[in-house]
């Protein structure tokens, strides 16, 4: 039996040490490296050439398809060259190097947008370059597109931010409450079929809950729901269940249960775009972790190197074990601190050498904790065991029967395993093998 459970099993330390710290601005860096793929979908197509002069907010790459997103210059300067950028997921993509020319000037295209209809709002979302800023990177315009069907009755704004350390959405709710309000008002005005707006926030963010309740106290269609501090509260299907008690069936989308989930910062950035015309060119990131000397929230142009943000933030302390883009549960380790931040970077987490020591892996003691911890009622142990099978058909049968693709890679199973087994890593391997197998079968006409 698969589905979803009310999260009651996985308590992780939250370390929200930066929750009370507003973002501080990083001075313009000398150079930025802007990858063409910072979202789910097709990489954006560059429309500038080496030698071109660009200004802040000028489009430098077009969306290359329906599921894609345009990219804008985050600083003024000269396009130096195109470089190959190796993403943390191992994919090589094109990136544009821009060298700062000492100016801070907005491009003439940065102008307020008139929003009279849902079409206008979706067009604005597409042109704003906003994607799921909680880390998913799904283009916001594609998400908003489901509102055209008039079947969505509830919009959930995701302010759960359940990963340890990260507080960038928390600060959006506190420091940019007016932008959040304007984002919701845009939806109320252009999507009348939506009857209910729910802002879901974990209880460990009392200031954000208070600010949001104050901000929306005169809007009866908006509820601010304080959620238990349990991981992974912010996972889309978990959040839907915990706010409106609807279960998204396997293989279906939130829209199939008439719900749309949007990251709260994405909507705040879209509201600002409509008001000012400034697309997504800067990102607020939490710099924290056991090897960070002075945790902070820092706002920097997209494409700024991790190294510059660390140095500006006060550097590291002790021996660094790992640098992650994102939090310790779902973040990706980077190979070098020269890598840039992107639209989806919510945090730079730096862990000490001590904290990244892998526990000695021992045999499974069949305690069942991994299955208990799973928000999707999966059995991660079966996936790990299946990887040892040499019979491919048998392996795929097990993965299929036990719904490997429902795994959201939240890491809860690994976190609770007393035997130190790398369950989430095995899940990722099993998912990629299963994906390759199903694609192969589809090509052969077998699935």
Residue 4: half-sphere exposure toward Cβ, Cα within 13 Å: 20
> CB of residue 65 vs ligand SF4: minimum separation in angstroms?
29
User: Cβ atoms within 10 A of the Cβ of 108, count?
Assistant: 10
> CB of residue 205 vs ligand SF4: minimum separation in angstroms?
23
Q: By CB under 6 A, which span of 99-107, 236-244, 276-284, 378-386 interacts with ligand SF4?
A: 378-386
State the Cα–Cα distance between residues 195 and 108, nearest whole angstrom.
38
State the Cα–Cα distance between residues 21 and 194, nearest whole angstrom.
34
Q: By CB under 6 A, which span of 142-150, 173-181, 340-348, 376-384 interacts with ligand SF4?
A: 376-384
State the Cα–Cα distance between residues 240 and 254, nearest whole angstrom.
8
> CB of residue 332 vs ligand SF4: minimum separation in angstroms?
15
Exactly one of 408, 426, 433, 434 binds ligand SF4 (CB under 6 A); that residue is 408
Instruction: Respond yes or no on whether the N-terminal peptide bond of residue 232 is cis (omega within 30° of 0).
Output: yes
Residue with tokens 């991790």: 306
Q: By CB under 6 A, which span of 107-115, 149-157, 348-356, 373-381 interacts with ligand SF4?
A: 373-381
> CB of residue 235 vs ligand SF4: minimum separation in angstroms?
8
Nearer to ligand SF4, 10 or 286 (CB): 10
Exactly one of 190, 243, 266, 427 binds ligand SF4 (CB under 6 A); that residue is 427
* Residue 129 interacting with ligand SF4 (CB under 6 A): no
382 burial type by CB count under 10 A (0-12 exposed, 13-18 middle, 19+ buried): middle
> CB of residue 396 vs ligand SF4: minimum separation in angstroms?
17
Q: How far is CA 197 from the centre of its chain?
A: 21
* Residue 407 interacting with ligand SF4 (CB under 6 A): yes
Q: By CB under 6 A, which span of 14-22, 24-32, 348-356, 369-377 interacts with ligand SF4?
A: 369-377
> CB of residue 387 vs ligand SF4: minimum separation in angstroms?
13
* Residue 4 interacting with ligand SF4 (CB under 6 A): no
Total residues in contact with ligand SF4, by rule CB under 6 A: 29
* Residue 421 interacting with ligand SF4 (CB under 6 A): yes
Residue with tokens 């009622």: 377
* Residue 378 interacting with ligand SF4 (CB under 6 A): yes
> CB of residue 236 vs ligand SF4: minimum separation in angstroms?
12
> CB of residue 378 vs ligand SF4: minimum separation in angstroms?
4
Exactly one of 417, 426, 430, 434 binds ligand SF4 (CB under 6 A); that residue is 417
- Residue by residue, DSSP assigns 31-93 as EEEEES--SSSSPPEE---TT-EE-BT-EEEE--SSS---EE-SSSEEEEEEEEEE-TTS-EE
Q: How far is CA 307 from the centre of its chain?
A: 21
Residue 254: half-sphere exposure toward Cβ, Cα within 13 Å: 24
* Residue 367 interacting with ligand SF4 (CB under 6 A): yes
How far is CA 404 from each of CA 21, 341, 380, 398, rounded to the nearest angstrom? 39, 30, 8, 9
* Residue 402 interacting with ligand SF4 (CB under 6 A): no
* Residue 237 interacting with ligand SF4 (CB under 6 A): no
Q: By CB under 6 A, which span of 54-62, 174-182, 311-319, 401-409 interacts with ligand SF4?
A: 401-409
Nearer to ligand SF4, 143 or 421 (CB): 421
Q: How far is CA 55 from the centre of its chain?
A: 27
Residue with tokens 């594609």: 142
* Residue 12 interacting with ligand SF4 (CB under 6 A): no
Closest among 22, 337, 329 to 160, alpha carbons compared: 329
- Residue by residue, DSSP assigns 286-302 as EEESTTBSS-EEEEEET
Residue with tokens 């506190």: 174
Question: 336: Cβ–Cβ under 8 A, 6 or more apart, which residues?
Answer: none
> CB of residue 427 vs ligand SF4: minimum separation in angstroms?
5
* Residue 364 interacting with ligand SF4 (CB under 6 A): yes
Nearer to ligand SF4, 9 or 101 (CB): 9
* Residue 381 interacting with ligand SF4 (CB under 6 A): yes
| Footprint of ligand SF4 (CB under 6 A) | 364-370, 373-376, 378, 380-381, 407-413, 416-419, 421, 423-424, 427
């Amino acid at each position: 039996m698969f589905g979803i459970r009310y999260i009651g099993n996985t308590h992780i330390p939250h370390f929200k040490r930066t929750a009370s710290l507003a973002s501080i601005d990083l001075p313009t860096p000398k150079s930025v490296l802007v990858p063409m793929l910072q979202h789910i979908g097709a990489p954006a197509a560059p429309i500038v050439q080496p030698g071109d002069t660009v200004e802040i907010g000028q489009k430098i790459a077009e969306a290359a398809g329906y599921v894609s997103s345009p990219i804008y210059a985050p600083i003024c300067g000269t396009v130096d060259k195109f470089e190959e950028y190796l993403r943390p997921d191992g994919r090589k993509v094109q990136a544009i190097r821009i060298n700062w020319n000492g100016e801070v000037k907005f491009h003439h295209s940065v102008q307020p947008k008139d929003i009279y209809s849902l079409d206008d709002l979706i067009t604005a979302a597409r042109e704003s370059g906003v994607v799921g800023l909680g880390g998913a990177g799904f283009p916001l315009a594609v998400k908003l597109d489901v509102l055209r069907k008039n079947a969505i009755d509830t919009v959930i704004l995701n302010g759960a931010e359940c990963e340890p350390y990260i507080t960038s959405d928390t600060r959006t709710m506190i420091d940019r409450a007016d932008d959040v309000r304007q984002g919701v008002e845009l939806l109320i005005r252009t999507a009348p079929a939506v009857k209910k707006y729910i802002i879901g926030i974990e209880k460990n963010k009392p200031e954000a809950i208070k600010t949001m309740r104050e901000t929306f106290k005169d809007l009866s269609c908006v509820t601010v729901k304080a959620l238990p501090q349990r991981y992974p509260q912010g996972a889309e299907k978990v959040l839907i269940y915990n706010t409106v008690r609807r279960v998204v069936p396997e293989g279906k989308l939130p829209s199939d249960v008439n719900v749309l989930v949007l990251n709260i910062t994405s909507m705040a950035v879209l509201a600002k775009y409509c008001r000012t015309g400034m697309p997504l060119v800067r990102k607020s990131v939490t710099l924290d972790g056991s090897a960070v000397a002075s945790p902070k929230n820092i706002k920097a142009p997209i494409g700024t190197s991790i190294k510059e943000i660390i140095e500006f933030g006060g550097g590291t302390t002790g021996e660094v074990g790992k640098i992650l883009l994102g939090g310790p549960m779902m973040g990706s380790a980077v190979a070098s601190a020269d890598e840039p931040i992107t639209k989806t970077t919510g945090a730079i987490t730096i862990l000490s050498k001590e904290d990244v020591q892998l526990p000695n892996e021992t045999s499974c003691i069949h305690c069942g904790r991994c299955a208990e911890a799973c928000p999707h009622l999966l059995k991660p142990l079966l996936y790990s065991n299946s990887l040892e099978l040499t019979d491919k058909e048998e392996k795929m049968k097990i993965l299929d029967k036990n719904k490997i693709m429902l795994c959201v890679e939240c890491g809860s199973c690994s976190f609770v395993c007393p035997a130190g087994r790398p369950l989430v890593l095995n899940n990722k391997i099993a998912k990629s093998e299963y994906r390759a197998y199903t694609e192969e079968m589809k090509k052969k006409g077998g699935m």
